[in-house]
Amino acid sequence: MRILFLLLVFAFFGIILFHASKEAPRTYYVLGLNLILIASLQLKRRDKLFLQTHFHHFRIIYLAEYVLLSFPVIICFFYHSQWMMLVILLIGIAASCYLELNFSKRTLNSRFQRWIPDESFEWKAGLRKWLYLLVPLWIVSLSTSFFIGTAPIAIFIFGFLPLGFYDKGESIQMILAYEKGTNHFLGMKIRLQFIIFSVLVVPLIILFILFHPGLWYIPVIEYFIFVSFHIYLLLAKYAFYISNEKSSAFQMFGSLGFIAVVLPILVPVMWVLTIKFYYQSFEKLNFYLHDFN
């Protein structure tokens, strides 16, 4: 069942990729997204020391991996005779193999950390991991918002970012630290998530509407779908909360939420689950927080 589901997801994305790589400007987005993903992989991978220690030609291993990962894109560019895009892609992949920057110290306490409220520690931790993707992406999105696809794609990426932020439960002391009753606690978390996401994407939405007024509804609908997705994620996190552990149930329902966003016909299912998770998370958290109600 899972395999079938995965095959359907791959087929769906394969069809989108095939159509997007036919002609400019969509080919630029495909190229850009692919190179950003490869570069992120290269910067984040944790097996570099192992590969560099045990293999003399470790960069060939990187190259082979990234070419394999980019194979669908390469095939699509080849099929549509997008030779320039293909050449740039291959050069970009080769260049990525030489990326060796260590950002951990520089992202540790960037000034952006101070802008995030203390209670949103998930975003503080997430920003440390993704700062060098988020900031350039945001700047590039703002400055190229005259392109019709920029804002929707950027909102899409920012919208899915929290999927990796909420998979692990914090310690019990951190839940009790706020000394808030259960409803206040959940309300605070949802409100902060909404504010941070809005700060990121509302400027993009405004610029999109200025450049493409006739299509104002696209980013607006996207925004509301992602806001409901984030509420769903937060409530799912606490519905299946286990201190200091990643809940497999959350990962499963997180994936379901991802599919619902990609296939908007399933958004009502996500809404129904959100209500269920509200009651479940209330019961779960109330065990710890009932004294503060």
Partner 1 sequence: MIKSLNLEMKSGQIHGIVGLNGTGKTTLLNTIFGLKKADNGDINFDGSQLTKQQITYLLTENFFYTGISGREYLSLFKNLSFETDRWNELFLLPLDKLIDEYSSGMKKKLALLGILKQDKPILILDEPFNSLDIESSRIIRSILLKIREKGKTIILTSHILETLTNLCDYIHVLESGKIGSTREKVDFKEFEQELFQAIEHKNEELISDLTGSKSSESFQD
Which of 150/182 has CB closer to partner 1? 182
For residue 105, give both structure tokens. Answer: 């110290």
Distance, in Å, from the CA atom of 48 to the CA atom of 63, rounded to the nearest integer, reads: 13
**Alpha-carbon distances, residue 259 vs 5, 77, 160 (angstroms):** 10, 26, 11
Binding residues with partner 1: total (CB under 8 A): 28
Count of other CB atoms within 10 angstroms of residue 201: 24
Which of 130/278 has CB closer to partner 1? 130
Q: In the set 92, 126, 219, 257, which binds partner 1 (CB under 8 A)?
A: 126
Residue type, position 169, single letter: G
Show contacts with partner 1 in window 197-226 (CB under 8 A). Answer: none
Show contacts with partner 1 in window 156-175 (CB under 8 A). Answer: 168, 170-174
Per CB under 8 A, 125 contacts partner 1: yes
Rg from Cα positions in the chain? 21
Binding mask 245-274 for partner 1 (x = CB under 8 A): ------------------------------
Q: Where are the alpha helices (DSSP H) in 45-110?
A: 48-54, 58-69, 71-79, 83-96, 104-108
Q: In the set 26, 59, 129, 184, which binds partner 1 (CB under 8 A)?
A: 129
Q: In the complex, what is the shortest distance from the CB of residue 129 to partner 1, in angstroms, rounded to a whole number?
A: 7
Which of 242/263 has CB closer to partner 1? 242
Q: Where are the alpha helices (DSSP H) in 144-266?
A: 150-160, 172-176, 182-211, 217-239, 248-262
Per CB under 8 A, 24 contacts partner 1: no
Which of 143/293 has CB closer to partner 1? 293
- Encode 92-131: b = buried (16+ Cβ within 10 Å), e = exposed: bbeebbeeeeeeeeebeeeeeeeebeebbebbbbbbbbbb
Per CB under 8 A, 132 contacts partner 1: no
Stretch that binds partner 1, among 51-59, 123-131, 220-228, 233-241 (CB under 8 A): 123-131
Per CB under 8 A, 121 contacts partner 1: yes
**Alpha-carbon distances, residue 239 vs 88, 234, 267 (angstroms):** 46, 9, 19
Which of 53/173 has CB closer to partner 1? 173
Distance, in Å, from the CA atom of 234 to the CA atom of 191, rounded to the nearest integer, reads: 11
Give me the half-sphere count of Cα atoms (radius 13 Å) on the Cβ side of residue 248: 0
Stretch that binds partner 1, among 29-37, 53-61, 124-132, 186-194 (CB under 8 A): 124-132
Per CB under 8 A, 179 contacts partner 1: yes
Which of 39/289 has CB closer to partner 1? 289
Interaction site with partner 1 (CB under 8 A): 108-109, 113, 118-119, 121-122, 124-126, 128-129, 168, 170-174, 176-179, 243-244, 288-289, 291-292
